[in-house]
């Protein structure tokens, strides 16, 4: 069996303050190329779990390994660069810098990740290819991101997450801002491109209707225990 692209072990995190929210993840693994849907209502701890995986939060106890590296071994600056190198992030909405061009937005993670920039090769050509594959018109590259429709913006966010083929994609309800018809088309493109890039996909959502497409579907409660308040 291949080494997991993401491994959580005995993870514990407690927000500072007496009433701080606490999250525990005894064990979770994501294999290369695997697609996993993590279902959870708001308040189930996903907005704590994702920053822990991405390294903007540091676990109080336990380990987070991404592509074999323990995030706790890295300094703050190293974690930032590591995130740029290894992880593509897609948010619910407001993914893009509205004043920048689409090309600038797509190429932004490469700016902070020299290895990923090397993997991407000619960044602009790769961005254009991704845009085309995601059904975006070519002219969109030089348009300002703020002028695009929400659906187009989400697809640009996918292109940005996939450029340079990071081993792990983390998506936080990427379809919640889209209507039902666009959702399906968007997910088709996302899965197709993630597979083409060989990236594993961890998606967090509250919508069980998405479940059918994923290799595995987990409930947040299955892998994590959360506590609110000082108990």
Rounded least distance, CB 82 to another protein, Å: 8
Handedness of CA 51, 57, 58, 62 (dihedral sign): negative
Rounded least distance, CB 85 to another protein, Å: 7
Q: Which is nearer to another protein, 106 or 187 (CB)?
A: 106
Residues forming the site for another protein (CB under 8 A): 47, 50-51, 54, 56-57, 76-77, 80-85, 89, 91, 94-101, 104, 107-109, 111-113, 144, 146, 160
For residue 15, what are the contacts with CB-CB under 8 A and spacing of at least 6? 21, 22, 48
Rounded least distance, CB 76 to another protein, Å: 7
Q: Which is nearer to another protein, 119 or 213 (CB)?
A: 119
Q: Which is nearer to another protein, 49 or 217 (CB)?
A: 49
Residue 45 in tokens: 């701890």
Q: Which is nearer to another protein, 1 or 139 (CB)?
A: 139
Rounded least distance, CB 113 to another protein, Å: 6
Whole-number CA gyration radius for the chain: 17
């Amino acid at each position: 069996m291949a080494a997991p692209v993401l491994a959580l072990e005995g993870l514990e995190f407690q927000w500072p303050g007496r009433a701080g929210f606490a999250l525990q993840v005894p064990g979770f693994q994501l294999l290369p190329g695997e697609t996993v849907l993590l279902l959870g209502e708001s308040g189930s701890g996903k907005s704590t779990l994702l920053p822990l995986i991405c390294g903007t939060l540091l676990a109080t106890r336990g380990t987070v390994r991404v592509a074999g590296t323990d995030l706790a071994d890295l300094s703050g600056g190293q974690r930032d660069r590591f995130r740029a190198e290894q992880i593509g992030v897609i948010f619910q909405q407001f993914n893009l810098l509205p004043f920048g061009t689409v090309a600038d937005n797509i190429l932004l993670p490469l700016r902070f990740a020299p290895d990923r920039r090397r993997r991407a090769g000619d960044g602009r050509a790769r961005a254009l290819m991704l845009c085309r594959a995601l059904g975006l018109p070519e002219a969109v590259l030089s348009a300002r991101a703020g002028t695009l429709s929400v659906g187009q913006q989400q697809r640009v966010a996918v292109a940005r997450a996939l450029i340079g083929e990071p081993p792990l994609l983390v998506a936080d309800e990427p379809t919640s801002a889209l209507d039902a018809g666009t959702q399906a088309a968007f997910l088709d493109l996302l899965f197709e491109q993630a597979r083409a890039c060989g990236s594993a996909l961890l998606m967090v959502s509250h919508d069980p209707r998405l479940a059918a497409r994923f290799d595995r579907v987990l409930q947040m409660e299955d892998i994590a225990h959360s506590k609110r308040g000082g108990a």
